[in-house]
Amino acid sequence: MQGRNIARLAAGVALGAALLAASQPAIGAESEAPGDWYFTASGMQESLDAGNDGAGVQVAVIDGQINPDVPTLQGADLTIAPSICYDEAGNPIPPTTDEMEGAHGTNSVSLIAGAGAGYPGQVGVRGAAPRAQVTYYSVGPDSELLDPLCFDRPGSQRPGSQRGVPERFEQALDDGADIVSIQIESSDTIDPLLVARAMREGVIVLQSLSNEPFDDWGTGGLASMNGVVGVQAIDAYGDPQNGAGSTDPGVDVAAPGVGMTAQGGPGAESWETQTIQSGTSNAVPFTAGVLAAVWSKYPEATGNQMIQSLIRNTGVEDHELARDDSLGYGIVSLRHMLRVDPTQYDDVNPLIVDDRELQGAGGVETVYQPTYLEIFPEAATPEPTEPPASGDPFEALLPVFVIGGAVGALVLVGAIVLVVVLTTRNKQRQGERNHGKA
């Protein structure tokens, strides 16, 4: 897991309260539009007014079906990738739908790139990056059944994949995504080597934590993988969705996700109905939108530097880097991140653990997926250094006066005597250095 063994400092709740208290008017139950509290609290309108709209940033969203016809997505730079899923009979499962099954994915994209247009009398779901280049990768439908839900073209099951998440993840990397936003739970297993590739290429991978309270089974799946950003959901008062005392060792940051406006969704009879929904499925796309907005202000930053800024500039005020199991490094702050140029940070993903330093520590074997060497295989291959260059071209001409032990030493006397003897060839190069990233 990403830096799970560092000291956990309980500063997150205070940061969350400060972040939310900084917004005016007051938010929460007293707000005129309680489901829009995240928009006011984060300062999205000020950011948009300043031109920080996500332009030029490529965001991949992996989710179920989507309804691209909702008003808030009209005009969005949205590309919908062709479906890779077929039902058991071999019929394609379309990536788009006007049924309510598409509400989850629709609202996820809206929290990134929604411009705010709504049905009559409404303000639509809004995101921090309405000009981001969003590519949508649909996967098989959600179900509690263990049966495969995304067959390949002949109608046969995909190896190790029920919904097609691993295939979509690889496709997003192939398509050049800067940010990958995954806000669905799935039993699909993404190959750690694919995650290693994403980390190597500096792609920001966001994964939602479970909405259920953490238990002794531990955090699993993509959110626990080395270098991936695990996102928790908070309410309008800065508390984690499962209560102020709830913890999860998989959390890296926390973001608004509880009590937020959604278009359609469970309980809605039509798309014109707005509901209030909660969960980490809101927190992940919110975070993706914030990252895209900030990145559009600082386009020279790398993905690694954006992650540095994400975890260092949480809350309202500057602070030392500190983490706990409640809010991770703190609450995602659009305002704070916009104030700080991320190019000042090292081009290193701070969530990647070099597990070589932890192997066998304290008698306990720590396992990370992917391993550091899977992410940076060149770190396992030391490269020899060149011998130091000499400034004297005649330094290599060493006088040697050995004829043989039986004969003895031959002494040459004269004004200038130069004896050249060829030294042993293929002299061993000295020193080794290891490649790696801190």
Geometric angle at alpha carbon 138, from 105 and 104, rounded to 5° = 15
Catalytic residue among 42, 53, 104, 138: 104
All residues at 6 or more sequence positions from 249 whose CB lies less than 8 Å from its CB, including other chains = 1, 4, 214, 218, 219, 325
Residue 428's beta-bridge partner residues?
none
Alpha-carbon distance of 182 to 194, in angstroms, equals: 15
Structure tokens at 80: 């919908």
Alpha-carbon distance of 308 to 81, in angstroms, equals: 30
Neighbours of 251 (CB within 10 A): 29
Residue 289 has phi, psi (to 5 degrees) of: -65, -40
Active site residue 104: yes
Structure tokens at 137: 């990768």
367: alpha, beta or left? (left if phi > 0; alpha if psi -120 to 50): beta
Catalytic residue among 36, 53, 63, 324: 63
Catalytic residue among 23, 108, 208, 281: 281
C-alpha radius of gyration, the chain, whole number: 28
Neighbours of 340 (CB within 10 A): 17
Task: Report CA-CA distances (Å) from 436 to 268, 348, 366, 372, 384.
Answer: 52, 11, 19, 9, 15
| Catalytic center residues | 63, 104, 281
